[in-house]
Structure 1
Amino acid sequence: MLVDAHAHLLPRDYPDDAPECFPRMEPIDGDTARLHLFGASRFRAKDVFFDAERRIEALDASGVTTEVITPMPPLLRYDLPPADGLSLARHVNEFTTTLCATDPERLIGFGIVPMQDPEAATAELAAMRAAGLVGVEIASNIAGVSIGDERFLSFFAEAERLDMPIFVHALPSPTDRLPRSAMGTYVVGLEGALAAASLITGGTAEKCPNLRVSFSHAAGGFPLMVPRAQYFWGGTWNEEPAIPGKAIAYTEGPSPLDYARRFYYDSMVFDRRALTYLIDLLGHDRLLVGSDFPAMDREEPAGRTLRSLDLPEDVLTDITWHNAYRYLGIDPPG
């Protein structure tokens, strides 16, 4: 078995009477793809983005048993007026529910919420759960505000109460320190790191100890940053016992690495050496397979680099599917 815990969808259509700020999907003559129009953006969306039959065919072709499907990150429109943001989220969530209902064991859907209005986002979670959506996707920042900001704590607390996992997808934020060509590469790595660190430093990880959160692309640079935080916390190298009198930021209770090991991280880091580091530092029980499909092509077969590490069978089994069901909080099929 193999569960792809990072895959995406786009709705096939949007309502004719939708606000002007909504995307549009237009047919392409002689093509099963559709043209996704969103402001100045023009994107040819292959039919596998929105066609359940094509998704199942793609799963079979790459050796994937099940995929966890979240909306494409550009649909996380936190710049919209809250009412429009809620309307867009509900339309996308309805489409996700319908798509995944065609084969619930193989297609597991996450919804989205208007995080620009934390109260509305929090209130929407129970309805999403009741509709059959298993979890919720959010961006790594909310219109430039850290997800670890106190204003979002009630949202995370409600997700914890409802036993709903959260998928944090790195979403580039404007910066004048790197060119726009770096938005999908280096800036994504920075965003993932800031999002994970903010949940620790902002107190969310402490206040929501049973919250299950995963990060796209292994939270970017976070796994290389957290040992430094560990040193400042404990005053020692190599995770040796803390020396409170030597530490710069020692507090009783969990260390930065303890908190980091509560999170989940997808394996889409593009290099076997990076995977080895993640397993060694964070633990094999924290890793999920991810692909970004169909925005990016899967490895063929899926998990090829992971399997090249010659891991013990129980470790490989955990990463390829056991961890995913633990993260999702649902029983595996069969």
Structure 2
Amino acid sequence: MIIDAHAHLLPKDYPHDAPECFPRMEPIDGSADRLLVFDKMRFPAKEVFFEAERRVEAMDASGVDAEVVSPMPPLLRYDLPAADGLALAQHVNEFAAELAGHAPERIIALGMVPMQDPDAATAELAAITELGLAGVEIASNILGTSIGDASFLDFFKEAERLDLPVFVHAMPSPTDRLPMAAMGTYVVGLEGMYSAASLILGGTAEACPDLRISFSHAAGGFAMMLPRAQYFWGGSWNEEPRNLERAVMPDEGPSPLEYARRFYYDSMVFDRRTIRYLVDLLGADRLLVGSDFPAMLREEPAAKTLQSMDLPDDQWQDISWRNALRWLGREAVDA
């Protein structure tokens, strides 16, 4: 069984009386696809983004049993006025619920909230549960502010209280340190790292011990940075017992690795060697299948790299589907 925990949706249309800052989905001559027009963005959206029948067909063709579908990341436009951001989120969430309703065992939909207004975002979580959506997607930063900032703590506490999983999708933040060509590559990797680290350093992980949170693309470079953070915390190499004489920043709380092993990470990292490192450092019980489909081409068959690694069966079962259900808060019952 395979659950793709990182796939995306786009609404087919938007209200005719929507604010001018809303996206548009324009017809493409001779095709059932649509053109997403959002500010300067022009993105040809395949029919599978918004038609449930096409999604199920695509899953069948790739050997996927179910998908966790979240709004296409460019919809997470936190620069919109708060009221417009809320209206956009509500429209996308209603569409997501409708899409999932066509095949609820196969399409598991997440919603979105206007994180530019933390109070409105927190309040909207209740509406997400009322719609029957499985969780919420947020970006790795909110207009350049990391999600571990104290201003977002109440949001995470409410998600924890409502038992809603959170999916953090790495998104570029304004920077002049790397060229624009790096926005989809290196910067996304950096943003994933910043977002996960900020939840630990900002106190969210401590304040929300039961929060179930997943990071796209294994939180970028986060796992490579953890051993250094572990050394500064406990003064030891290779996760040996603490040596406080060498610790740079001793702390009596859980270690960075203990916090990191509470999180989930999708394994779309493009290389089996990276996956092996993630399994060794974080554990096979922390990884999920992810594809970014249909924004990116899925491996054919799905999870091809994972399947080529000769993982022990229990590890394969965890990564391919059990962990996704655990992250979603659903019972994982062996088939």
Q: TM-score, normalised by structure 1?
A: 0.99
- Three-state SS of the structure 1 residue aligned to 2:97 is helix
Q: Deviations over 1:169-204 (max 9, x none)?
A: 000112111111110000000000000000000000
Q: Which one-letter code corresponds to 1:292 in the other structure?
A: D
Gaps of 5+ in 1: none
Q: Which one-letter code corresponds to 1:217 in the other structure?
A: H
- Residue 102 (structure 2) aligns with: 102
- Three-state SS of the structure 2 residue aligned to 1:181 is helix
Q: Which one-letter code corresponds to 2:126 in the other structure?
A: A
- Residue 191 (structure 2) aligns with: 191
- Residue 208 (structure 1) aligns with: 208
Q: Which one-letter code corresponds to 2:71 in the other structure?
A: P
Q: Which one-letter code corresponds to 1:112 in the other structure?
A: M
CA distance in 1, matches of 2:151, 2:173: 20
Q: Which one-letter code corresponds to 1:191 in the other structure?
A: E
Q: Which one-letter code corresponds to 1:308 in the other structure?
A: S
- Residue 220 (structure 1) aligns with: 220
Deviation at 1:332, TM superposition (A): 4.8
Deviation at 1:246, TM superposition (A): 2.3
- Residue 152 (structure 2) aligns with: 152
- Residue 231 (structure 1) aligns with: 231
- Residue 174 (structure 2) aligns with: 174
Q: Which one-letter code corresponds to 1:61 in the other structure?
A: A
Which residues of 2 match residues 299-318 of structure 1 at below 5 A? 299-318=299-318
- Three-state SS of the structure 2 residue aligned to 1:32 is coil
Deviation at 1:28, TM superposition (A): 1.0
Deviation at 1:127, TM superposition (A): 1.3
Deviation at 1:307, TM superposition (A): 1.1
- Three-state SS of the structure 2 residue aligned to 1:211 is coil
CA distance in 1, matches of 2:208, 2:39: 37
Which residues of 2 match residues 19-98 of structure 1 at below 5 A? 19-98=19-98
- Three-state SS of the structure 1 residue aligned to 2:8 is strand
- Three-state SS of the structure 2 residue aligned to 1:8 is strand
CA distance in 2, matches of 1:40, 1:89: 20
- Residue 292 (structure 1) aligns with: 292
Gaps of 5+ in 2: none
- Residue 131 (structure 2) aligns with: 131
Q: Deviations over 1:127-155 (max 9, x none)?
A: 11111001000000001111000000000
- Three-state SS of the structure 2 residue aligned to 1:35 is strand
- Residue 247 (structure 1) aligns with: 247
- Three-state SS of the structure 2 residue aligned to 1:67 is strand
Moved more, 190-199 or 170-179: 170-179
Moved more, 242-251 or 159-168: 242-251
Deviation at 1:110, TM superposition (A): 0.4
Deviation at 1:48, TM superposition (A): 0.4
Which residues of 2 match residues 245-284 of structure 1 at below 5 A? 245-284=245-284
Report percent identity of matched pairs: 71
Moved more, 199-208 or 169-178: 169-178
What RMSD over aligned residues (CA atoms) do the two structures have, in Å? Answer: 0.9
Deviation at 1:264, TM superposition (A): 0.3
